Amino acid sequence: MTKKIDINCDMGESYYEKKLGNDSKIMPYITSCNIACGFHGGDPNTIIKTIELAIRYDVKIGAHPSFFDLEGFGRRKMDLELNELESIILYQVSALKGITESYGKKLHHVKPHGALYNIASVNDDIAETIVLTIKKIDPNLKLYGPSKMKWKEISKKHKIEYVSEVFSDRNYNDNLTLVDRDNENSMITDINNSINHLSRMIENGKVKTINKKFIDIDAETICIHGDQPNAHIFAKTIYNTFKSKIVK
């Protein structure tokens, strides 16, 4: 059986006068989008426009909650009490869910952003708080998260469907965490390198780490970061390369 994959992109990250990404050029080449909820990017008008764009291209709509960190784009680590973490996720995801439903559509998934995503990958308490908050909002929501992490087991325990994500434009450490953005080799900026990177993960179930080790990985959805300069080129090339495997 041919392996089927999803392509997702972080979107709607412009806010007020600050413009980020090129959502209109990327949306035709993805199958699901993760829309910023106003805490690291996004404002009400941008959220609405991004939802409308997703509906136009029949793209699944997801919420992309983060720490409250507009200045740091949600990429700075924050130490929150678990009840406070629950409240910010509840607030953000509920907002996206409500607006999406006002258009007669359903919210499909949740994908945490930036530092929240990275911390939950190694901190089980934070991962479980995210899972339980999603379940409180809607137990039918899917969670997009990193491959081969305990996060998946926690989701399964609480009956939340987990979708294992791999990154088209990021390098990996040996423990399958992402290389920190402060390191010069964190990003994959060449599209040919990205295609090779993805082909290895999709076809062989392996990722080549920065230490040149080949580690098992599950690729169910591919992430493209919408704020990177060549995101629309990545999206179009990845879509066309793996078209036969993509599931709407």
- The string of pLDDT tens digits covering residues 66-114 is 999 999 998 999 999 999 999 999 999 999 999 999 999 999 999 999 9
Q: What is the pLDDT along the chain (248 residues), one digit of tens a residue?
A: 567 899 999 999 999 888 888 899 999 999 999 999 999 999 999 999 999 999 999 999 999 999 999 999 989 999 999 999 999 999 999 999 999 999 999 999 999 999 999 999 999 999 999 999 999 999 999 999 999 999 999 999 999 999 999 999 999 999 999 998 888 889 999 999 999 999 999 999 999 999 999 999 999 999 998 778 788 999 999 999 999 888 77
Residue 65 placed within a domain: yes
Q: How many domains does the chain have?
A: 1
Give the residue numbers spanning the domain of 216. 6-245
pTM (2 d.p.): 0.94
Residue 105 placed within a domain: yes
Residue 130 placed within a domain: yes
Residue 236 placed within a domain: yes
Which DSSP state fits 146? Answer: E
Residue 41 placed within a domain: yes
Q: Whole-angstrom Cα distance, residue 155 to residue 134?
A: 10
Residue 81 placed within a domain: yes
Residue 1 placed within a domain: no
CATH no. for residue 129? Answer: 3.20.20.370
Biggest alpha carbon distance in the chain?
48
Residue 183 placed within a domain: yes
Please return the burial class of 27, using the count of CB atoms within 10 Å of its CB with bins 0-12, 13-18 and 19+.
buried
Q: 197-236 in b/e burial notation, b at 16+ Cβ within 10 A?
A: bbebbbeeeebbbeeeeebebbbbbbbbbbbbeebbbbbe
